[in-house]
Amino acid sequence: MSSVIPDGYERLLIEPFYGSLGTIRPDNTVQVSPMWFLYDGDTIRFTHTTKRAKYRNLQANPSMSLAVFDPEEEYSYIEVRGRLLEVIPDPTGAFYVVLGKRYGNPDQKPPRDSLDRVILVMSIEHTAHQ
Amino acid sequence: MSSVIPDGYERLLIEPFYGSLGTIRPDNTVQVSPMWFLYDGDTIRFTHTTKRAKYRNLQANPSMSLAVFDPEEEYSYIEVRGRLLEVIPDPTGAFYVVLGKRYGNPDQKPPRDSLDRVILVMSIEHTAHQ
């Protein structure tokens, strides 16, 4: 497991809580949206498509920040900052299915836009927490 | 009430859900953190201090984005984008108390850093929702 994550906070990345992902738009304004994610101990992975705003944002500026809190205990949160390391094609939507199951749908099917699906791989460089 | 907010989504701004606020750091990386907020029908207001990173970020780039979802119904969310309109001193911490009560603590007292407290007033310029 990553030594960057402060003691006691890894739970927020392991439990299936939604994260809020920030990216920077080409006009230098900020975008935040709730996202499914998977923490693999080293990177954070998201399902996305090549047709959406966040993908275009990340082409211009690779900075990413993910904030996660437990809705039952909102005072405590972690923010993970990093950047886009890699974009992996996912044309069968397999990773979307992995995330759908992680977030509570055992019968998750691949999405209709599978051909455009990609996995965004984010580095873990800094954290903030409370 | 603001005509910018799509029908059926104002609830996400009225109920005491935490928001995730994105700002842009002076080095053009993104920061996201969970925040209390108050929607007054026209602007969104946060309690903050003049000593923290978000305050410094906003001096360099006024862009702000707030994402809010209902933890019981996470598929549905609203993102509100705008910018810092005004910083109002709050040296008694009165607005902090207003937000503490809104978020479930009827006995909320002013914080120890009240002298540095400010109200950040954010405009509502664009929204995205799902």
On whether residue A93 sits in a domain, the answer given is yes
Q: Identify the burial level of B75 via C-beta atoms within 10 angstroms of its C-beta, where 0-12 means exposed, 13-18 middle and 19 or more buried.
A: exposed
Asked if B78 and B12 touch (Cβ cutoff 8 Å), the reply is: yes
- Judged by a CB distance cut-off of 8 A, whether residue B3 touches chain A is no
One-letter amino acid of A38: L
Of B23, B121, B107, whose CA–CA distance to B63 is shortest? B23
Encode pLDDT of B61-82 as tens digits. 999 999 999 988 878 999 999 9
On whether residue B4 sits in a domain, the answer given is no
Top residue of B12, B28, B30, B105 to mutate, by most chain A CBs within 10 Å, is: B30
Is the confidence at residue B55, as pLDDT, over 60? yes
On whether residue A84 sits in a domain, the answer given is yes
One-letter amino acid of A44: I
Is the confidence at residue A2, as pLDDT, over 60? no
Residue A16 neighbours by CB distance under 10 Å = 13
Which of A52-56, A59-63, A73-77, A99-103 is predicted with the least confidence, judged by mean pLDDT?
A73-77
One-letter amino acid of A78: I
Report the residue from A29, A33, A61 with minimal CB separation from B67. A33
3 state DSSP class of B129: strand
Smallest Cα distance from B76 to chain A, Å: 9
On whether residue A67 sits in a domain, the answer given is yes
| pLDDT recorded at residue A73 | 84
Asked if A65 and B29 touch (Cβ cutoff 8 Å), the reply is: yes
On whether residue A3 sits in a domain, the answer given is no
On whether residue B40 sits in a domain, the answer given is yes
On whether residue B104 sits in a domain, the answer given is yes
How many domains in chain B? Answer: 1
Contact between A79 and B32 using a beta-carbon 8 Å cutoff: yes
Cα(A47)–Cα(A118) distance, integer angstroms? 6
How high is the ipTM of this complex?
0.94
Q: Which residues of A touch B71 (CB under 8 A)?
A: 18, 71
Smallest Cα distance from A126 to chain B, Å: 11
Asked if A53 and A102 touch (Cβ cutoff 8 Å), the reply is: no
On whether residue A2 sits in a domain, the answer given is no
CATH of residue A77: 2.30.110.10
Is the confidence at residue A67, as pLDDT, over 50? yes
Structural domain including A21 reads 10-129
- Judged by a CB distance cut-off of 8 A, whether residue B49 touches chain A is no
